[in-house]
């Protein structure tokens, strides 16, 4: 399964697809490149010293999560080079009310190129069209301005600030709630 999309302002073509075992070294390389600083502040899994074994454990667990309908994780790929640009996922499902969370990250060297908004749009299309969701939520720590800009670029509606909504590296953070709905 491959979904292609473009950032309309930069004409950057990206693809999202299910993770596969061949992505283990690609994810590892992206994490090693990105570890440290603000990236690690918001993505605590991506620490200096991130190992190939951690990459393997994550990717090999994605098939079961997908099959069980718990999480749908996509690798964001440059289709011309097969470079792993980051990840976008649908998770934290509420099946009764047909909504889920959207999470995303882009490797440090490719930030600011419109990759995250393009990937979020593709994942949202999958969630609405393939999974029948009626709402997607993007919950972003108040200080994570890059991720907030992504939510705004995809047209997500800002709904407010939720106090102590996120626990990141054992520290509570207020979070801005954004939502996407079909159409």
Phi-psi region of 92 (alpha: psi -120 to 50; beta: other; left: phi over 0): left
The pLDDT of residue 8 is 42
Question: Does residue 42 lie within any of the structural domains?
Answer: yes
Q: Which residue matches tokens 């069209």?
A: 129
Which residue reads 């593709």 in tokens? 122
Query: Is residue 142, in this structure, part of any structural domain at all?
Result: no
φ, ψ (nearest 5 deg) of residue 96: -60, -40
Q: Is residue 76 part of a domain?
A: yes
List the chain residues with pLDDT less than 50: 1, 6-9
- Taken in order 57, 109, 43, 133, the sign of the CA dihedral is negative
pTM for the whole structure: 0.91
Q: Is residue 178 situated within a structural domain? A: no
Domain-located, residue 170: no
Return the pLDDT at 38: 74
CATH number for the domain spanning 52: value is 3.40.630.30
Residue 75 lies in domain: 2-136
Radius of gyration of the chain, Cα coordinates, nearest whole angstrom: 15
Helix (H) or strand (E) holding 163: strand 157-168
pLDDT of residue 86: 96
Q: What pLDDT shows up at residue 40?
A: 67
The one-character DSSP state at 130 is: I
For the chain, the domain total comes to 1
Residue 141 lies inside a defined structural domain of this protein: no
In a domain, 144, yes or no: no
Q: Please, are residues 146 and 138 in contact by the beta-carbon 8 Å criterion?
A: no
In tens, the pLDDT along 157-168 reads 999 998 988 887
Beta-bridged to residue 104, according to DSSP, are: 88
The residue written with tokens 């951690």 in the block is: 54
> 56 lies in a domain?
yes
The pairs formed by 82-85 with CB atoms below 8 angstroms and a separation of 24 or more are 82/26, 83/26, 83/110, 84/23, 84/26, 84/27, 84/29, 84/30, 85/14, 85/30, 85/110, 85/115, 85/119
């Amino acid at each position: 399964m491959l979904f292609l999309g473009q950032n309309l302002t930069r004409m950057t073509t990206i693809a999202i697809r299910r993770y596969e075992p061949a992505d283990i070294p690609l994810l590892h390389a992206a994490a090693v490149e990105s570890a440290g600083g603000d990236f690690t502040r918001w993505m605590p899994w991506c620490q200096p010293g991130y190992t190939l074994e951690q990459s393997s454990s994550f990717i090999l667990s994605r098939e079961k999560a997908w099959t069980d309908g718990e999480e749908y994780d996509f690798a964001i790929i440059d289709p011309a080079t097969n470079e792993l640009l980051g990840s976008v996922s649908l998770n934290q499902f509420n099946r009764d009310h047909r909504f889920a969370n959207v999470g995303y990250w882009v490797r440090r060297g490719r930030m600011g190129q419109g990759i995250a908004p393009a990937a979020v749009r593709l994942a949202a299309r999958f969630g609405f069209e393939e999974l029948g969701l009626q709402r997607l939520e993007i919950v972003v720590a108040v200080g994570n301005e890059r991720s907030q800009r992504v939510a705004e670029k995809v047209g997500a509606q800002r709904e407010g600030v939720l106090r102590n909504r996120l626990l990141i590296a054992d520290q509570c953070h207020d979070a801005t709630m954004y939502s996407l709905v079909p159409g």
